[in-house]
Amino acid sequence: PIQMKDESVGWSFNMLMANKIDKADGLMIIALNAVRVHHKLAGIGYDEATKLDVMHEIKFVVMTVGLPIGIVFEENEECCWIGRIFEYGNAATNARGDKIKIGDQLASINGNSTYGKKVAEVCRVLAAAPNSKDIEFTFMRYIGPLRPILRQGGQQGDEI
């Protein structure tokens, strides 16, 4: 379940970015993927029954950079995410704006949603960019606590 609160410090920025990027449910799914990947990278299963407070636990990361960006994207069913950042690539050395991290979920390129796009489609969008030296990427990052799956009804005592 997703919980949205409007009293967050970053509420207005989050809402501005959400309205800019997505008109459908795609952002909420990308936010959930940000949580899942964050937990996966930490080696912990995510407890899907916990509530996600989008306004406090999801951060929009906006970076502008030229090609080649120096990122390896991974993909899941709904979106792409950063699997690797090359140490001497443009994203690590020449980007303007926020610093990216492994696990960040790609939400848009130049303001156009990337929800539902696979890596090959993202590459085509980048290759067709009108200005290959100035591409704006918007990512979503989970910044909340780890919420591991808790074992239910475990045995007490020693097994013989």
Q: Is pLDDT of 4 > 50?
A: no
Q: Looking at per-residue confidence, does 9 or 61 come out higher?
A: 61
What's the mean pLDDT when you consider all of the chain?
A: 85
Measured distance CA(33)–CA(54) in Å, rounded: 12
Contact 109, 115 (CB under 8 A): no
Contact 64, 95 (CB under 8 A): yes
Q: What is the mean pLDDT of residues 18-30?
A: 67
Measured distance CA(13)–CA(71) in Å, rounded: 26
How high is the pLDDT of residue 55? 87
Helix (H, G, I), strand (E, B) or coil at 52: strand
Helix (H, G, I), strand (E, B) or coil at 95: coil
Q: What is the mean pLDDT of residues 47-54?
A: 90
- Out of 3-17, 27-41, 59-73, 89-103, pick the least confident: 3-17
Q: What is the mean pLDDT of residues 91-116?
A: 95
